[in-house]
Structure 1
Amino acid sequence: MNGVSLLDELRRSWAITVKDMRVYYLRPPALMFGVLFPVALFFSFAVGRNIPSDRLIPVLAAQTVFWSASSIGPVAIPMERRMRTFERFLSAPLSLMAVLWGKTLAGVLFGLGITTLATVVGALGVGLS
């Protein structure tokens, strides 16, 4: 790391995580796609079927992780390259691993948050307490 401590790299990654959360993930389209789509899919398969709730909640969690994690992650770097903001990361005094770790951490935190929210909504919807 050329004299840069691991703590410095983690701080830089965290700055990228916070920036990505603000710019990409906490926008209404990402939130709607990450929350409403999995919940709508869940209820479309759960309503009118005699499926136990202990089987439904893991399905909801899996759908939410899949849709929320894939809503922004695959388009963030190409979008930044098109807007010419990704070059700032490459020319800044941080490693490529710090950039990738920051972007990955943003997706993980968004996915965990949305999954928790959707699972609570789903559990309340199927009558779990």
Structure 2
Amino acid sequence: MLTRRALITRGGAAGTGVLFLWTARPAEAEASEEAAAPVLASTKSIPLGGGKIVQGKYVITQPKKGVFKCFSAKCTHLGCTVASVSNFRINCPCHGSQYNALTGAVVRGPAKRALSRKRIKVVKGKISLA
């Protein structure tokens, strides 16, 4: 028969083990997510003053040599996917909206809001989401 003290001691030890496993797992998951971040593009594939639409979700630009920016590829006017980047502008084919390739700000409407920024990291010539 278990005494109250033995039950509390065993329960405490089991709780500590569960707490340890619970706190250790998220760190392991974060490490594997970081390692598994998919590469969106290589830096060589992004032209200076231009950019590239990736997976129909992102637009990556190189507005200055060695500076890379990433934005949502969804136009803030009616949700069309932007189609191109040229002359430091991101261009939407649906109604002619244009965005600044450095900031994502509207340069020409009808869009009223800037493209949303996406955090990226550049490691060894590869661009991935941060």
Same fold, judged at TM 0.5 (above): no
Task: Tell me which protein shows more strand as a share of its residues.
Answer: 2
Task: Tell me which protein shows more helix as a share of its residues.
Answer: 1
TM-score normalised to structure 1 length: 0.29
Structure of higher CA gyration radius: 2
Task: Using CA pairs under 8 Å that are at least 6 residues apart, name the structure with larger relative contact order, 1 or 2.
Answer: 1
TM-score normalised to structure 2 length: 0.28
